[in-house]
């Protein structure tokens, strides 16, 4: 019997856009269409693009819009099977072995069969998502930060939505999770992973959509100030900084200006608040130099 989808089926790309907007995520036609197809076809969705363009937020928005549980695997260098799939509770197993030895109640075969059971299993994000019977969004975040070998751990999940535990057998999903993988493209992912996914490249939004995002998140901001902020953020991104301002940092900047009572983003206001959007000293120095902010 095939697993059912993890989330209620969207009726159309327009339905995706409407439901995501209702939870605060403004999307474009390409994103709405790809999310719709991923849900309908039951395919994992690979989101690639620079940091801070809303890849992780899209997965969270899908979970919220569909009233699904978000299960997140945060990838990092050195991630292994024990942290991604499952591991055994060795301390508890040892106590069980010692208890069996102490009372002389059983041989090793009986103890072995006893300690490799549900009671001693510690589930990690991938196995947790596979085993859930409720609607689930599985977010594999920043998959490009892991070693190439770790991608092999994902293949069984992404191909058959199942996990094999040698001591217990194969666990197959009753309800497929809606899977979202994100990548900042710091390294090329394997073709095996890409074949199993629908692909969407997310970039920084155009001025119109970023202005809409800012005004929706910061409703008190004046239209002229929002326009100034969007233009300034675009200018900063064009400078090829070590860390360009993310969408979330644009929103933070808008909230900062409101909190300070700033209604005109002039050079002085930029100088005073630049730390909200730039997090590296070299970026501060370059922006100050390029925009001539050191001139009084």
Distance CA 251, CA 98 (A): 57
Kind plus residue range of the DSSP H or E element containing 72: strand 69-74
How much is the pLDDT for 1? 47
Can you give the pLDDT at residue 265? Answer: 93
Helix locations, the chain, DSSP H? 13-22, 29-41, 55-65, 81-84, 90-103, 108-115, 125-131, 151-160, 191-195, 207-217, 223-237, 247-259, 267-273, 281-290
For residues 216-231, one letter each, b for 16 or more C-beta atoms within 10 angstroms of the residue's C-beta and e for the rest, the string is ebbeebeeebbebbbe
Neighbouring CB atoms inside 10 A of 177's CB total: 28
| pTM score, whole prediction | 0.86
Burial of 32 (C-beta count, 10 Å sphere; 0-12/13-18/19+): buried
End-to-end Cα, the chain, rounded Å = 72
Identify whether the C-beta of residue 127 lies closer than 8 Å to the C-beta of residue 156. no
Residue 203 CA, distance from chain mean position: 15
Instruction: Give residue 90's pLDDT.
Output: 84
* Separation of alpha carbons 196 and 156, rounded Å: 10
Residues linked to residue 175 through DSSP beta bridges, in sequence order: 4
Beta carbons within 8 Å of 17's beta carbon, 6+ residues apart: 27, 29, 32
Beta bridge partners, 198, equal 45
Q: How far apart (Å, rounded) are the C-alpha atoms in residues 225 and 260? A: 13
In what helix (H) or strand (E) does residue 172 lie, and over which residues does it extend?
strand 169-172
Question: Token digits for 190?
Answer: 């394997």
Q: What number of other Cβ atoms are within 10 A of residue 121's Cβ? A: 15
Q: How far apart are CA 246 and CA 162, in angstroms?
A: 35
In this prediction, residue 151 carries a pLDDT of: 83
Averaged over successive runs of 10 residues, the pLDDT of the chain (296 residues) comes to 62 96 93 95 94 94 95 92 86 78 58 75 90 93 87 82 85 90 91 93 93 92 96 94 92 95 93 93 92 76
User: Which pLDDT does position 103 carry in this prediction?
Assistant: 56
């Amino acid at each position: 019997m095939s697993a059912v989808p993890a989330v209620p089926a969207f009726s159309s790309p327009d339905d995706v856009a409407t439901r995501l907007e209702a939870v605060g995520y403004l999307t474009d036609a390409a994103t709405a269409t790809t999310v719709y197809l991923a849900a309908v076809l039951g395919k994992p969705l690979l989101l690639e693009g620079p940091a801070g363009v809303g890849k992780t937020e899209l997965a969270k928005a899908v979970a919220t819009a569909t009233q699904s549980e978000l299960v997140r695997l945060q990838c990092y260098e050195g991630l292994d099977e024990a942290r991604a799939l499952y591991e055994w509770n060795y301390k508890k197993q040892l106590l069980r072995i010692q208890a069996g030895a102490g009372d002389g109640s059983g041989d090793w075969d009986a103890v072995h069969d006893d300690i490799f059971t549900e009671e001693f299993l510690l589930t990690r994000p991938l196995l947790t998502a596979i085993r859930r019977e409720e609607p689930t969004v599985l977010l594999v975040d920043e998959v490009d930060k892991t070693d190439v070998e770790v991608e092999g751990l994902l293949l069984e999940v992404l191909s058959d939505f199942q996990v094999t535990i040698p001591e217990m057998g194969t666990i197959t999903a009753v309800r497929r999770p809606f899977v979202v993988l994100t990548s900042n493209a710091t390294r090329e992912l394997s073709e095996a992973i890409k074949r199993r996914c629908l692909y969407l490249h997310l970039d920084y939004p155009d001025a119109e959509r970023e202005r809409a995002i800012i005004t929706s998140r910061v409703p008190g901001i004046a239209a002229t100030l929002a326009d100034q902020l969007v233009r300034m953020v675009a200018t900063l991104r064009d400078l090829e900084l070590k860390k360009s301002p993310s969408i979330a940092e644009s929103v933070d900047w808008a909230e900062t200006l409101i909190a300070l009572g700033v209604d005109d983003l002039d050079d002085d206001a930029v100088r005073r608040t630049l730390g909200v959007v730039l997090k590296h000293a070299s970026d501060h120095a370059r922006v100050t130099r390029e925009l001539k902010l050191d001139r009084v």
